[in-house]
Structure 1
Amino acid sequence: MAEVIIAPDAEGRAVAYLKARFTALGDSAKVGTKFPATGSSRFVRVVRAGGVSELAYDHPRLVFICSGSSSVTAERLCSLTRALVLAWARLSDDVTRVQDAGDMAYVPDPDSGQDRYQFAVQVDMKMSAI
C-alpha cells in the first residue's frame, strides 16, 4: 500500500515557535491565527496565504500581521517577529529554509484604525507520512 503524505500545520507551528521565542525573551506579545476581540494590543496574527506542496515538502507562504497601540509599537513588534521568523530554520527542526517574500509594510486596520505592520515569508517544511 502507498504511503499517504500530509502537510504540516504551518500556521500552528509558526504560532508555537513564536510563543516559545517571545517567552524566552520575556516578551508579553500574544500570537494566534485570529485577532482577539479584546485584550492584547501587542499581537501577532499568523496567516497561511498560499504556497505550493510537492511529494516531500510543503512550501507555505506565511503572512505575519503585527498590531500595537501605536505605529512605533507595531513596527517594533513586527521587526522583532521578522527577525525571529527569518532565524526559524536555524533555531528549530520544524523548517529547513525561510525565504523573505515581502518586507515590512504599514497596513493599519481600516475598521478599528489600529496600527499594524506585516511581512511575508516562504518556508520549507517536511511532509509527514500518516
Structure 2
Amino acid sequence: MMAEVIVAPDAEGRAVAFLKAQFAARGDSAKAGTKFPAKGSSRFVQVTRAGGISNDIAYDAPRLIFICSGESSVDAERLCALTRGLVLAWARLSDDVTRVRDAGDMAYVPDPDSGQDRYQFAAQAVMKMSAI
C-alpha cells in the first residue's frame, strides 16, 4: 500500500493564469509569465516563487515576487499598482487561493542590463495542497 503524498500547487502558474485573465477582462495589454520575454511586450509582469511556508499539511503559503515593466517609470509603476491590487484581491476574485497578505510594498528596481523601468512587490498567498 502506498502512502498518500501531499504536494504544493503550482503557485507561479496559478498567479500567471490569474493575472492574464484579469488583464484581459480589463482590456489591458499587459502580459504575464515566469520569465521576461527576450523581445515583445514592454508591459509585462514576471512572477517568481521566492520560498514561503507550510503551516500544516493542508495549506501552502508561497511568497511570490511580482516584477512589472513598462514603457516608462510611470507606466511600470501604474502596472505594478494594478497588479498589486489584483493580487491582494485574488482570494475574492477566484477559487485558487484562500487568503493573500502583503509581503513587501512596491519598490523601483530598474533592470541593470537594459535600463528598463521596473517596479516590484511581494505577496504571500495561501493555497490548498493536493493529494497525489
User: Would you call these one fold, judging by a TM-score over 0.5?
Assistant: yes
C-alpha distance in 1, partners of 2:125/2:95? 12
By how many angstroms is 1:2 displaced? 2.7
From 61, 71, 88, the equivalent of 1:86 is 88
Q: What is the letter of the counterpart of residue 126 of structure 1?
A: K
By how many angstroms is 1:73 displaced? 0.4
Query: Which runs of no fewer than 5 residues in structure 2 stay unpaired?
Result: none
The CA RMSD measured in Å over matched residues stands at: 0.7
Q: Which residue of 2 aligns with 1:102?
A: 104
Q: Which residue of 2 aligns with 1:65?
A: 67
Q: Aligned residues, how many?
A: 130
By how many angstroms is 1:55 displaced? 0.7
Q: What is the letter of the counterpart of residue 117 of structure 2?
A: D
Q: Which residue of 1 aligns with 2:6?
A: 5
Q: What is the letter of the counterpart of residue 82 of structure 1?
A: R
The list of structure 1 runs, each at least 4 consecutive aligned residues, that deviate by more than 2 angstroms after superposition, is none
Q: Give yes or no for the alignment of 1:56 onto 2:45.
A: no
Q: What TM-score, normalized to structure 1?
A: 0.98
Deviations 1:36-82 (A, max 9, x none): 00001000000001101231111100000000110000000000000
